[in-house]
Amino acid sequence: MKRRQPSYLNFDYSNYPWRPDIDYRVQPELYRVGKGDQGVLICEPYKSEIGTNWRFKTREIAEASSTKIYQQFLDYLSAGDFVGADMARKYLQMGYTRARRYANYKGGKKYDAEKHYAPLERGTGESEKAAAATIFYERWKAAEANKLYVNLKKQWKHERG
């Protein structure tokens, strides 16, 4: 049976639609919604604006972090900045996925690089991270359910992809 390698191995950056050298506030037309939280750690100036608030070490930290990011999401929507709102939504989603990974796997590592990227044992992570994941999940889903956001996303994807 062939093992599936992690997606970050042999990653083709030349075909990745997000670039670190683009100011997506100046050139929002170059932004693509993508799948999941793709591009979240690349797109400036949003990475710098939102990323500084992104934390999930404990339940309390996750609560404060997700509250700040959700407020940024609402602020971007109020300003008519779909790209900023989508990036904030992505940070909320990533808060959930990363906290879940740390809840499931000790140290957040899913694969053992020394054993040809064999999957590591699940259930060895931290329960505190599961609580943090739940907090981010609720904010992420609230953002995705926002009617203005839903309409803007649908329009954006139709016009730009």
Tell me the longest C-alpha to C-alpha distance in the chain. Answer: 52
pLDDT for the residue 126? 72
Question: What are the tens digits of pLDDT across the range 118-141?
Answer: 776 766 667 889 999 999 999 999
Preceding amide of 45 cis, omega within 30: yes
Compute the distance between CA of residue 6 and CA of residue 12 in angstroms, rounded to an integer: 13
Tokens of 18: 């997000």
Residues of the chain with pLDDT under 50: none
